[in-house]
Structure 1
């Protein structure tokens, strides 16, 4: 099999041959959610047997995703208390998006026992939510430059509207791939390499571009505009934690699975470190929206 651009087979095999912890894998013909027998001879993530052929394969990710929802709700409420903070509503939109991602994780990479069609529907929502939420995160960085006054109908409307467009577009491609509303994506589904250029671009490349752009814009804001260093520690910590989460997902996962005889893989650690990265993003945002930063306020802005 090939790991060339667009191919998912090796990724799916290495994140759980039968119960893959890469959500996009649920859309391909090899996935049990479509009646397939798994992705080659990789390590099978089995987790806890529920009797018969049913398994609660990834209990760790389920619990961690549930914790992520609770923590995100707490941060959302804390954000609401920071009434003078720049981008308060925009940050809350990001947290709501992350809560939706975490909810979907329970049913996609958590392998909560579900009918295959229901799992594919959650998978499509999951992928769409990732793209839309990371776009909202990028827009949070743009809001910091006060091009448009934060918290206004214009700001929230533009961010929510563009994120909704990305959500609908990405979700449609994922749904059509999983349910074959048309025959346009069926060559993708049945390709032995699970080659899916559109999904690969939307799921692997576009979020990475959004994240890098977010980091660069925030770094410029902190170092050049605010003239501070301390917030960069939080931003770099968030970036490092996210990188660690991806290493667990794509590199270490198969080795953890083999070492634990299929009891666990890198999916749990990926979910955990992603949660920690989100927390650090919130801490970073909170640190640059304190009232004592020496930045002049624009009309209608929440800078003080």
Structure 2
């Protein structure tokens, strides 16, 4: 049973990046861990709206840091390891925070794409990152009254703060779909995203040791948890694409693209253009008669 603020049971189940730095002086050793080098995949695309693209940039940074730490490129014995782990935890929390703020974008707390909307997310995400980075370093290095033997504040950040951010985001999106959209299909994207994330977390924290023993240490729950998290992030993109009208080269939505070329034409040219597809007005032939 996982106890509040205690990483022992968690780290015995799955080899998180912070496990060598908390608990006993030598850290907490997992019961079973994989011996292979994982290569985490990253999906590259053009999300469009700048608020959501920050979430994907942060996720990309988290993936890169996790690759460096889990694969052993930055070894646990390195003096830089605690700082990389602190950056990893800080980026994870900033990613959840950025996702939460993106949940409010649809409610127009500020016009999306404006300086107020963009910089409020950027600055607050950086502040969250800096605060969690300091908390992590202070915990690992026994600074400011924090102690790696009792890393309760770090536990609260990772599992309560981040979990609450995710739950609030999901609730906001369900409310947004029901109140402002006629189409209910985006709810399916939300449900799939939740399912992938829950399966990933269950694989990570419940079945990791069993998977590791069965696979003879070649893979563990972290492998499948990373894949499920990637799928959940892909569903965040799929959901976002389904409720917006952005023109994306790699769009995976079911709606037709709406090409906005109005700004490229003068007023007279735009009025006189024929109908060639989405975004152009229907031609007006008032008073014209050629005998047909």
Measured against the shorter chain, the TM-score band is 0.7 to 0.9
Contact 2:21 2:27 in 1 (8 A): no
Question: Shift of residue 27 of structure 1?
Answer: 2.1
Instruction: Pick the structure with greater CA Rg.
Output: 2
Contact 1:26 1:119 in 2 (8 A): no
Q: Distance in 2 between matches of 1:134 and 1:25?
A: 21
Q: Does 1:229 align with 2:184?
A: yes
1:236-251 maps to which residues of 2 (within 5 A)? 236-251=191-206
Q: Distance in 1 between matches of 2:34 and 2:196?
A: 27
**Residues 100 and 142 of structure 1: is their aligned pair in 2 closer, same or farther, counting only changes over 3 Å?**
same
Question: Shift of residue 132 of structure 1?
Answer: 0.8
Per the normalisation by structure 1, the TM-score is 0.76
Q: Distance in 2 between matches of 1:255 and 1:112?
A: 26
Q: Does 1:130 align with 2:92?
A: yes
Question: Shift of residue 171 of structure 1?
Answer: 0.6
Q: Which stretch shows the higher mean deviation, 255-264 or 91-100?
A: 255-264
**CA deviation profile, 1:71-122 (whole Å, cap 9, x unmatched):** 1xx22x2x23xxxxxxx10011101110111011112333335243222211
Contact 2:19 2:28 in 1 (8 A): no
Q: Does 1:7 align with 2:6?
A: yes
Q: What does residue 263 of structure 2 align with?
A: none
Q: Choose which of 74, 80, 83 in structure 2 pairs with 1:118.
A: 80
Structure 1 segments unaligned to the other structure (5+ residues): 49-58, 81-87, 294-303
Q: Choose which of 46, 51, 70 in structure 2 pairs with 1:109.
A: 70
Contact 1:245 1:273 in 2 (8 A): yes
SS in 2 for 1:23: coil
Q: Choose which of 16, 23, 33 in structure 1 pairs with 2:17.
A: 23
Contact 1:257 1:266 in 2 (8 A): yes
Q: Does 1:178 align with 2:122?
A: no
Q: Distance in 2 between matches of 1:37 and 1:197?
A: 15
Q: Choose which of 39, 60, 74 in structure 1 pairs with 2:29.
A: 39
Q: What does residue 51 of structure 2 align with?
A: 90
**Residues 136 and 37 of structure 1: is their aligned pair in 2 closer, same or farther, counting only changes over 3 Å?**
closer
**CA deviation profile, 1:22-54 (whole Å, cap 9, x unmatched):** 223132154xxx7x27437x22x2514xxxxxx
The structure showing larger relative contact order (alpha-carbon pairs under 8 Å, at least 6 residues apart) is 1
Per the normalisation by structure 2, the TM-score is 0.79
Q: Distance in 2 between matches of 1:37 and 1:287?
A: 45
Q: Distance in 1 between matches of 2:105 and 2:2?
A: 37
Q: Distance in 1 between matches of 2:160 and 2:78?
A: 27
Q: Distance in 1 between matches of 2:235 and 2:223?
A: 19
**CA deviation profile, 1:173-201 (whole Å, cap 9, x unmatched):** 10111233x26123xx2x3xxx3210011
Name the count of aligned residue pairs.
248
Q: Does 1:196 align with 2:119?
A: no
Which has more helix, going by share of residues?
Answer: 1
Contact 1:239 1:277 in 2 (8 A): yes
Q: What does residue 110 of structure 2 align with?
A: 148
SS in 2 for 1:108: helix
Q: What does residue 289 of structure 2 align with?
A: none
**CA deviation profile, 1:245-298 (whole Å, cap 9, x unmatched):** 1011100101111112322110010111100110110010011002789xxxxx
Contact 1:109 1:267 in 2 (8 A): no
